[in-house]
Amino acid sequence: MIIDLDKFITRERPYWERLESRLKKLEVDPEGRIPFEEVKQFHYLYRRTASGLAQIATYATDPQIRGYLENIVGRAYSEIYTIRDKTPRFHPLRWLWGTFPQTFRRHLALFLLSAAILLAGGVFGALAVALDSEAKPVLMPFSHLAGDPSERVAREERADGHERLEGHMAQFSSHLMTHNTKVAIFAMALGMSWGIGTVLLVFYNGAMLGAVILDYILAGESLFLTGWLLPHGAFEIPAILIGSQAGLVLASALIGRGQPISMRARLKAVRSDLVTLIGGGGLMLVWAGLIEAFFSQYHAPVLPYELKIGFGILELLLLALFLGLAGHSTVWWQRVTRRHPKKVV
């Protein structure tokens, strides 16, 4: 059967044009509310145009008319079949106290794996500094760490030692926050290399950290080192590890060992978790940046080391409690409500 193209177009064109004009309105004002009657009409126009496309595709393979109809049917299809408005409203506090720690615990094994890789890197860095004197300049990340630790401690413990950052602390803090967040994002993004890039990045950071720690321990500056690193490191290192945890989540979804679903389905299943983990890690890095710039840089006698170490330990404890326990009650409540559903009268 050959379609009467002229008659067909003359009859259907007004419907196509109406659908097009409604699509344009929707595209200009995506958040605008549409009356129910208009929604029904939009749906009708979509179905009529889709049916026109089916007729054209079956009875006349004219590429131009088909292209025109595919264009408007495709645009209308995405408007009709996306249930974006049913996405739950974002509640920042509920997310912070529930979703984030729950997501963290759901992938705890991968966080522990990241921590183990960091530790392995740390051991490697420490051994490298202990066994090879040439390793230090290669592994030390910043110039102020490359010198003699005792000289640095003496310089920074002087009465005016903390004044080197006066007038630059806010800038320093914002630089730390943004830089570390970029590192955490990078650790997550490298998950697309089947996790190899994430593992290498964490290992390398561990090696740098291990080298610095052993260098200060060998110089007899353990107290300074703990007082300097712990207040901000208590949040910074777990945050970077959460970034790499997200990277390993992504990698495991890509590899999908033992999971009988497609890669697309696996990636879809972890997408929200990735956003949650990187968002939570980013927030932790904001806190770490503030502490590093405004607290960690002050040493004894301005701030006693005991106070700084105590503060760092307190932070670690609170963070462990938060990540380990927060959101549990929500899960408990969900279980209870699932077992005893409300009676509908």
Partner 1 sequence: MDTLRGYQTVEIHTPEGVTFALPLAGPVVRFLAWITDLGCILALFSSAQALLMNLFSIIDADLGAAVGVFTYFAITLGYGIATEWWLRGQTLGKRLFRLRVLDLHGLRLRFSQVVIRNLLRAVDSLPLAYLVGGLACFGSRYRQRLGDIAANTIVVHQSEMALPDLAAITGGPFNSLRAFPHLTARLRQRVSPEEASIALTAVMRRNRLDPNARVALFAELASHFKAIVAFPVQTSEDIPDEQYMRNVVDVLFCKPAA
Give the nearest distance from C-beta 23 to partner 1 in angstroms: 10
Number of residues that bind partner 1 (CB under 8 A): 69
Contacts with partner 1, 10-29, as mask; x by CB under 8 A: ---x--x----------x--
Nearer Cβ to partner 1 (178/330): 178
Asked if residue 343 binds partner 1 (CB under 8 A), the reply is no
Residues 6+ apart with CB under 8 A from 212: 125, 140, 141, 145, 225
CB-side neighbour CA atoms (13 Å) of 218? 14
Among 257, 264, 342, 343, binds partner 1 (CB under 8 A): 264
Euclidean distance between CA atoms 20 and 75, whole angstroms: 9
Contacts with partner 1, 26-45, as mask; x by CB under 8 A: -x--x---------------
Residues 6+ apart with CB under 8 A from 65: 5, 9, 56
Contacts with partner 1, 170-189, as mask; x by CB under 8 A: xx-xxx-xx--xx--xx-xx
Asked if residue 103 binds partner 1 (CB under 8 A), the reply is no
DSSP 86: G
Which pair of tokens denotes residue 295? 């607290």
N residues, the chain: 345
Asked if residue 68 binds partner 1 (CB under 8 A), the reply is yes
Angle at 212 between CA 210 and CA 218, to 5 degrees: 100
DSSP 301: T
Among 45, 274, 284, 326, binds partner 1 (CB under 8 A): 274
Which of 312, 237, 215, 251 lies closest to 281 in space, CA to CA?
A: 237
Asked if residue 200 binds partner 1 (CB under 8 A), the reply is no
Q: Which amino acid is at 43?
A: H
Interface residues with partner 1 (CB under 8 A)?
A: 1-7, 9, 13, 16, 27, 30, 47, 50-51, 53-54, 57, 59-65, 67-71, 73-75, 77-79, 81-82, 84, 87, 167-171, 173-175, 177-178, 181-182, 185-186, 188-190, 192-193, 197, 250, 264, 267-268, 271-272, 274-275, 278
